Structure 1
Amino acid sequence: MNLRRSFREAADKKLQSAKVSNTMASHILILLSMVLMVGRTCHAFATPSNKIALITGGNKGIGKEIARRIGTEPGFTAIIASRDVALGQKAADDLKESGEYECDVVALPVPLDLTDDKSIIAAAKHVEKEYGRLDVLINTAAICFNDPTLYGKVDHTPFQNQADITIRTNYFGTLKVTQECLPLLKQADSPRIINVASAAGRLTILRSQELVDKFTSNTLTEPQLSTLMEQFVNDVQNGTHEEKGWPNTCYGMSKLGIIALTKILARENEGMLINSVDPGYCKTDQNNNQGTVDPADGAYTPYLLALMEQDDEDDGEDMSGLHFYDQQEIPWSYQ
């Protein structure tokens, strides 16, 4: 990507072009669907010509707002994935009833639980059966234990216990979703993965230069990264994490792992646009709604990355493996 231009300018230019060219075709497809699919479910509108976007954790917060934005785009079908199917369906119904949708948002009818490999595999198989491919994967789902220093609410779960479930969910769960979806993404013409990270995952939380060097190495592989994440959990459980340079935040560590994973995936999957995003300190139930950013605003950059086409002068590699905040690429080491 040409970094001399703002991400917003480049993306808006592409979006305007895409909207003009897609609107007429989209309207024709919708009219044909209305004629041919009378009595069928809304899922009939998810035509093979549509781009398919899967949003994990799409039933609430930032994920739901991403689904809202993508669902309004002509030629896109947004699939809300949730570990609770009923909540996912309610979110899809809420969005469609808002009057902004013509059935371009659907709920995944099977659960997607980041802590359950079988559910992840089943979810990917459902997408394959129904759509045959996946154009966009947006990994939003995550958990976070309340930190009294940030949110004013004490969580009595011991830190040693928080480490395992947080890393297993946010890092290893996201990794598994991505691994299962990669074959589907490779069937798309312009596949992309957007990993929603956090400022909590900045490099400066690491207290050891040796660890910084390991996480930022251009030769770091996914198995090596996963070993590092497991080592963090083990050191926390053994009570030695501080002396070894690890941070006192399981959530931050999980998001640091996601940013590192994003860069590895970008190196290993040429031709895909794979980037991470800090959505800002959004008002969500993870922070007891004490955030300062509306989730709709936090969803904007992931939405742009989902739709943005690559500039002709770019070779594809420069636009992948980057980290964004507020429509701009930012360094991973930002304060």
Structure 2
Amino acid sequence: MSSAGKRVIVVTGSYKGIGFEVVRLLCEHYGDRATVYMTARDATRAQPYMEQLKAKGLNPAFAELDITSKDSVMALKALIEREHNATLHSLINNAGMAYKQAATEPFSQQAQDTVHNNYFGHLNISDALLPLVPSGGVVVNVASGAGQLSQVSPQYQKQLSEADNIDTVTEVMNKFVAAAQKGEQKQAGFSNSAYGMSKLGMIAAGRVHAKQLAGRNVAVLNMCPGWCKSDMAGWERPPKTAADGADTVVWLETMTHEQQMKGSGKFFRERSESTW
């Protein structure tokens, strides 16, 4: 495989749901001008979805990826280095998990697992792949309105909104998990939403990355896809389809780089800048 002259795009967690629709829409938009990677932990599960797209005349690439495994992440990095001259033009951070409302696991476990996946998994990918994004590249973080800043105390709001390094954000995430182990998250200044806290960390990290990458002319955009029908969110109550949720992701990835840089570090929903 050669990516000479092609845009290289990786969409994490993308064999179904919003990620699948992002892959589909980007393949439709770019055609043979881009190599768009669908990624999943299990190639066997992803195969039918790859075949769906190929039946439509689209040609996505595939790579196995578990964002919580550094070995898996480094294998993807090695693939991009080998096959694409160590160049990744667009990184769409979509992979994530959430416990359902009916989950019986204690909150301490939910907090540990959700932050491990959604925040620390995000850092695994960022640490490995951001160095491969060249000038003119873009990162789109599929976060959530549940990651609102107001869910934490004023002290943590200030700390996260003003953070200039990832260690500052990680410190807050670790404090949340530690408090959750004791059942004291509310008293400690955090919310009772493991998912919301993990996405708050993801957004705060995205803002730090935007500051750090500005000098390299790389944009980092955070967004909320909305409440979409999916295995994670359910199929009956959410009002939006996965394709609806993918729309703003693709809008951000395909806008001009000048527009992307103007929006770098900001938060978007429904094709518009929004409050965090």
Give the TM-score taking structure 2 as reference length: 0.94
Name the CA shift for 1:127/1:87 in 2 (closer, same or farther; >3 Å). farther
* Residue of 298, 301, 306 corresponding to 2:245: 298
Give yes or no for the alignment of 1:272 onto 2:218: yes
* Residue of 255, 264, 270 corresponding to 1:308: 255
Equivalence for 1:107: 62
Q: What amino acid sits opposite 1:122 in the alignment?
A: A
| SS at 2:220 equivalent | strand
Q: What amino acid sits opposite 1:234 in the alignment?
A: A
CA radius of gyration, larger in: 1
Equivalence for 1:54: 10
Q: Which runs of 4+ in 1 moved over 6 A?
A: none
Aligned length: 270
Once residues 233 and 193 of structure 2 are traced to their aligned partners in structure 1, the CA distance between those partners, rounded to angstroms, is: 14
Equivalence for 2:169: 225
* Residue of 279, 285, 296 corresponding to 2:231: 285
Name stretches of at least 5 consecutive residues in structure 1 with no aligned partner: 1-43, 148-153
Give yes or no for the alignment of 1:159 onto 2:107: yes
Give yes or no for the alignment of 1:203 onto 2:149: yes
On the 8 A contact 1:70/1:77 being kept in 2, the answer is no
Equivalence for 1:68: 24
On the 8 A contact 2:13/2:94 being kept in 1, the answer is yes
Q: What amino acid sits opposite 1:76 in the alignment?
A: A
Once residues 250 and 139 of structure 1 are traced to their aligned partners in structure 2, the CA distance between those partners, rounded to angstroms, is: 19
RMSD between aligned residues: 1.5
Equivalence for 1:183: 131
* Residue of 127, 130, 135 corresponding to 2:80: 127
Once residues 129 and 251 of structure 1 are traced to their aligned partners in structure 2, the CA distance between those partners, rounded to angstroms, is: 35
* Residue of 200, 206, 210 corresponding to 1:256: 200
Shift of 1:165: 1.0
| SS at 1:80 equivalent | strand
Shift of 1:98: 2.5
Once residues 80 and 88 of structure 1 are traced to their aligned partners in structure 2, the CA distance between those partners, rounded to angstroms, is: 8
Once residues 177 and 131 of structure 1 are traced to their aligned partners in structure 2, the CA distance between those partners, rounded to angstroms, is: 17
Q: What amino acid sits opposite 2:145 in the alignment?
A: A
Equivalence for 2:160: 215
Q: What amino acid sits opposite 2:34 in the alignment?
A: F
| SS at 1:169 equivalent | helix
Shift of 1:248: 0.3
Q: What amino acid sits opposite 1:182 in the alignment?
A: L
Q: Deviations over 1:252-274 (max 9, x none)?
A: 10001111111100000121111
| SS at 1:81 equivalent | strand
Once residues 183 and 127 of structure 2 are traced to their aligned partners in structure 1, the CA distance between those partners, rounded to angstroms, is: 32
| SS at 1:318 equivalent | helix
Equivalence for 1:244: 188
Q: What amino acid sits opposite 1:131 in the alignment?
A: H
Q: What amino acid sits opposite 1:324 in the alignment?
A: F
Name stretches of at least 5 consecutive residues in structure 2 with no aligned partner: none
Once residues 126 and 27 of structure 2 are traced to their aligned partners in structure 1, the CA distance between those partners, rounded to angstroms, is: 21
Q: Deviations over 1:311-335 (max 9, x none)?
A: 4xx7x75321111000000010xxx
- Of 112-121 and 254-263, deviating more is 112-121
Q: What amino acid sits opposite 1:90 in the alignment?
A: P
* Residue of 117, 121, 124 corresponding to 2:70: 117
Q: Deviations over 1:81-109 (max 9, x none)?
A: 1111222333222111124x2x2x1111x
On the 8 A contact 1:310/1:319 being kept in 2, the answer is no
On the 8 A contact 2:18/2:242 being kept in 1, the answer is yes
| SS at 1:255 equivalent | helix
